[in-house]
Structure 1
Amino acid sequence: MIDIFLVPIALVVVLVMLHAWFGVGILKRGIIFTDLAIAQFAALGSAISLGYFHEEYFYILTLSFALLSAFLIAIASQREIKLEAFIGLLYVLGASGIMMVLSHSAEGMEHFKSLLASDILFTSPNDLYKSAIIYAFIALALWKILPKTKGFVRELLFFSLLALTVTSSVQLAGVLVVFVLLIAPAFVAISLELKKPLLYSFFFGWFFSIVAIIASYYFDLPTGYSIVFLGALLSSTIVLFSSKKNSAQN
């Protein structure tokens, strides 16, 4: 019985650690939907692979579209524009593109559902090992290379590494799971003004992800959506009831 939980729990442990780091960076930049836009573009690349190439060039197309969105966001971050609005447009561009590409596919809607949130309860050990290697290289680049850069190069590298992370994560977990793992843990830790926000982001992300995995198994619920639901519910509740009342409304 316990064996079925080992791989998905190991997966979310790795996912939370890397995504929470990016989440803190995204929140500090004030561009909340960056990861969602990049994830949608990655999903658009995978949809094109399915709709037009019978799933050939899957990883290349997924990564290419994710990097394209990262490049556009990096450029936009250096311009005097409403960055959040621009990122929102990228998100709807990717989302609508997916629906257009998959509209004539017999398996389109089923694939679209898996792109949003996959059933990670049945992740294979091989997928976990491959992703762990990719995430290890990304973490090494974040630790050794990113601190040595600045300006546009730093932003481009940050968003490119985020795109590479999202590319692997979308295939394993789905767009919505990626978003909640990036934002929810960091949002709670920063909102509570904890002294070590990244560390507490890890603990919170691990908590709701593991609880959701176990609950989805025993209650026969879709695992990915269970993680998204519980993460969004807990984080929004904690932040709402722990925040101070806006003094401007008094």
Structure 2
Amino acid sequence: MSLIEILWPAFALGILLVFIHAIFGLEIIRRGVIFTDLAIGQIAAVGMAISVAFFDGMYQTPLTLLFALLAAIVIAISSRRVAHIEAFIGLLYALGISSIMLILAQSSEGMELFNRLSAADILFTMPEDLFLASAAYGTIAAVMFLLYPKTSGLVKEILFFTALALTVTSSVQSAGVLVVFALLVAPAYAALVQRRFEPLLFAWGFGSVSMIVALGISYLYDLPTGYTIIFCVVGAASVFVLSKSKRPPVAS
């Protein structure tokens, strides 16, 4: 089996992850709720931790989805009722991460499992995993492009956060919480500070190039794939944003 046959599913999955997360990332930044995805991802990972700790890895997807939907519904409702919503979302994130540590505390492989939940290795993705992800992300993208713009009010909020929860459920299992956060925020942030290209198209292109570079570096130098993706995507976005930022005028 050639190297291309081994690695092409990982590169394809990387592009898919960039594609779906850029859609939500732009909306999250515009809403000013940057840590929403991180909180939902962390609460979703509680379901994965329960699956590993108590059910030998069984029921992982339904448990992850259950906790992701619960977090999404709480955030959707609280976004219309709670003051200082970012602080509230930060509390949910802290609740999620502490819950995972408590659940995994009695496991001899607790820290290893925690690291995998934070940033997983997608380098040797199987084709069947890629096809399942394509079907899930394609359906969610169709909902966001076709149905979401036609809704309003609380229905629109619930639809958005439910679609985000479904995305996070799949992404956290394949890539990890921190990778999801990086892909949601970094390409979208870079896209919003430039003015030449349509933001979504720029986010797709910027994120895809960063992802391909990260996967290549991870393979060539035998580095942890998840953290290499975070470093490359976030690092590239940080440099780009700084290069585009203008120094504010000095008050006289």
TM-score, with structure 2 as normaliser:
0.96
User: Equivalent of 2:58, from 56, 59, 67?
Assistant: 56
Structure 2 match to 1:163: 165
User: Equivalent of 2:128, from 94, 114, 126?
Assistant: 126
Q: Deviations over 1:220-248 (max 9, x none)?
A: 10111101001111111211232011336
Structure 1 match to 2:14: 12
How do 1:59-208 and structure 2 match up within 5 A?
59-208=61-210
Identity over aligned pairs, percent: 52
Following the alignment from structure 2 to structure 1, what is the Cα–Cα distance between the partners of residues 248 and 195?
17
Following the alignment from structure 1 to structure 2, what is the Cα–Cα distance between the partners of residues 13 and 130?
14
Q: Are 2:221 and 1:219 aligned?
A: yes
Q: Are 2:247 and 1:245 aligned?
A: yes
Structure 1 match to 2:38: 36
Deviation at 1:5, TM superposition (A): 2.4
Deviation at 1:249, TM superposition (A): 6.0
Q: Deviations over 1:108-153 (max 9, x none)?
A: 2111111111110011111111111111111121122212210111
Q: Is the 8 A contact 1:188 1:201 kept in 2?
A: yes
More displaced stretch, 20-29 vs 5-14: 5-14
User: Equivalent of 2:238, from 207, 226, 236?
Assistant: 236
Following the alignment from structure 1 to structure 2, what is the Cα–Cα distance between the partners of residues 248 and 153?
45
Following the alignment from structure 2 to structure 1, what is the Cα–Cα distance between the partners of residues 196 and 68?
32
Following the alignment from structure 2 to structure 1, what is the Cα–Cα distance between the partners of residues 122 and 79?
33
Q: Which segments of 5 or more consecutive residues in structure 2 lack a partner in the other structure?
A: none
Q: What is the aligned residue count?
A: 250
Q: Is the 8 A contact 1:186 1:198 kept in 2?
A: yes
Structure 1 residues 201 and 53, CA gap change in structure 2 (3 angstroms): same
Letter in 1 for 2:194: L
More displaced stretch, 74-83 vs 35-44: 74-83
Q: Is the 8 A contact 1:5 1:214 kept in 2?
A: no
Counterpart of 1:137 in 2: which secondary structure?
helix
Q: Which aligned runs of 4 or more in structure 1 are off by greater than 6 angstroms?
A: none
Counterpart of 2:223 in 1: which secondary structure?
coil
Q: Which segments of 5 or more consecutive residues in structure 1 lack a partner in the other structure?
A: none
Deviation at 1:76, TM superposition (A): 1.1
Following the alignment from structure 2 to structure 1, what is the Cα–Cα distance between the partners of residues 191 and 71?
28
TM-score, with structure 1 as normaliser:
0.96
More displaced stretch, 224-233 vs 138-147: 138-147
Q: Deviations over 1:39-87 (max 9, x none)?
A: 0011111101111222222111100000011001101111141011011
